[in-house]
Structure formats: C-alpha cells, structure tokens
Amino acid sequence: MVDLDDLTIYPTLDPLDMLQRIKELPWQCQEAWDDIQGLALPPEYSRVANVVILGMGGSAIGGDLARSLAISECRVPIMLCRDYDVPGFVNEHTLVIASSYSGNTEETLSAFQQARERKAKLLALTTGGKLRDLAENTGIPLYLFSYKSQPRAALGHSFVPLVALFQKVGFVSDKSADLLESIKVMGELQAEISEGVPLEKNLAKQLASAFYNHLPVIYGSGTLSEVARRWRGQMSENAKAWAFFELMPELNHNAVAGYEFPQRLGKEIVVVLLTCSHDHPRTKVRFGVTEELLQRSGVRSVRVEARGLSPLAQMFYTVHLGDFVSYYLALLYGVDPTSIPAIEYLKGEMAKAGMPGSD
C-alpha cells in the first residue's frame, strides 16, 4: 500500500494537483461570496412560489447543500432537478436556477429551455458555454465565474452563491458571519489533515486507510444529509471507488434490517456516521443505537462529529474532511484524483449518438 506520509509520491500520483484545488476551497468560498454581492436580481424573484435548481454531478451538489441549509428557514419549497425535463409545476411563479460548470451540460440546458418556455424566473451559474450565451443574449441574471478545475472541485462557486442569492431574496437570514466561521474552521482543519501531517495524527489519512479495499457507506442527517452525498460522489470521482450513502432517520426504517446478509460483505464495509450538534435530539439517540446494531453485525463504524457553531460551518467542516479523505484514498489506489476516464468515455459515446458532452 502507498505510504501517505511519503511526500515524494504526491507529484507523481497527482500530476494535475487536485490537492491544491481541495486546499483552495476556503479561499474559493470567500471569492464567490464577494463576487455574487454585485449581482442584482429583479424584485419579483423574491415573490416566487417555489425554487428549482437544475444541475448534474459536481455542478448539482452545491444546490443540494444550499437546499439542506435553507430548508428550515425558507418559506417556499426548494428542489433539485437532475434530469432533461423540469417538473410539471414549474411556471411563471417558479425561480429556476441552472448550475453548470461548463455551461454545456445537456440535461441542464434541456430543462432550462423548458423552464424558459414556461415563463419561469431564471438565473444561471456557469463559467461559460451555451448557458452563458443564452443568459447574456436574453438578459437572464448570470453569475459568471472563472475557476479552472473539475466541476466537483469548484464547490465554492456552486454552493456559496446560492446561499448568498437566497439571502438576497429573503429566503434565509444573513449568513456572512457563518461564512467567516466556515472559512476559519476549514483553515484549522487543513492544519490537522494536510499531507505533511503524519498518518498517526491525521484523521483524513486514517479514514482513507480504513476505506482502502473496503466499501465506504456514509450516514448523514439534517444539514449533513447532502454532505453524505458529497462524500459518496468524491469517493467515486476522486478515488474511482464504490461508495454509498444513507440518510437518518429513514435508514432506521429499512437499511438497519439488512445488516445480516450476506455475512461476508459485512466485513468489507466501513460506515461513517456524520453527526453534528444541530441533529434532532431523537436522531442523536438513533445514531447511538445504530452504532450498536452495526457492532453486533460485525460492521466497522466510525463517528465523525462536525466542528463549528453554525450549520454552515459544520457542513463545510465535514465536506472539507471528506474531500481530503477521497484524495488520500485515490493515492492509496494509485489513481489520478483529477481524471475521470469512465465519465469521459460516456461523454464520447453520447457524442456519437448526436448529443453534446455533459459535465
């Protein structure tokens, strides 16, 4: 197995420097927050009946996180649409936000065009492509950013602007202090889990080592529900590894019944329980009982308690930790954490079918 404490391996296994992209997340969040402040929105955007965020893959996860952060405050429903078609309820009273890093994501463009035909209120987040052209040519409010990376590594630009936009239209309270706390928490975490910190003191390296040749299953709840999804996605794209996620308390009504068989599989699974101080009191009890059930079934579990006071800071703490874990796991498997050959192959096959490539 690769020695994660041998710093000479990093340039070879990570030629495009995904590690630096991960480390830039705190800075990226501050830049995105500052940049979005200058975007003016029509007054009617604050009077919509519902919100639909369009996106796929790394461009959609920011919407997931923003929705889970806003859900306890927002007076209108917010949903994610990961498909070619918008829901039937979308109309002139709907705010539709298209998030596409490249601006050429075919599913997002298809759904965005449908939303435009239905006279929805529209907004776009992108670096360019067809989405940028459509927004600029038709006067759609546009958050245009420049950050060279894989879409999943541009999380600051897909998540933070949505939080700021929700604040602008009155869906959530002022999050500026929470963002500053988030940046501070991530900076402190980096000091503990960066590549120069040895395995014996480095939680991210320890979790990656536990995941190596095992199946990671991530449990999350409340504001950390979509963080669990983020962990799953990062394990797949960065480490090229199988991973799954489940949500509490729902998993207590089905998944826990399936710990028994096949018995050999239990030894190959490592469950991570993402918890925080904002979890519902009853959910906290459920996490404890679930740990007991996992132990009885011979399944290894690790609890990760989020740091920070605000929900936003706790989300960013666990997101940042998961990004580092997936990075170290990629190195353990000896794969480039940036490249995504399976997705590139799929894009090529879709292009042969007469469709443009997607994120």
- Catalytic positions are 237, 253, 347
Residues in the chain: 359
Q: In what helix (H) or strand (E) does residue 49 lie, and over which residues does it extend?
A: none
Q: 18: number of CA atoms within 13 Å, CB side? A: 27
3-state DSSP assignment of residue 191: helix
3-state DSSP assignment of residue 60: coil
Q: 300: number of CA atoms within 13 Å, CB side? A: 12
Q: How far is CA 74 from the centre of its chain?
A: 20
Taking the C-alpha atoms of residue 170 and residue 2, their distance in angstroms, rounded to an integer, is 49
Residue listed under structure tokens 């007076």: 75
Other Cβ atoms closer than 10 A to 289 = 11
Backbone dihedral angles phi then psi of residue 270, each to the nearest 5 degrees: -125, 120
Q: Quick one: tokens of 228?
A: 């669990």
Instruction: Yes or no: say if 81 and 64 are a contact pair by the CB < 8 Å rule.
Output: no
Taking the C-alpha atoms of residue 348 and residue 344, their distance in angstroms, rounded to an integer, is 6
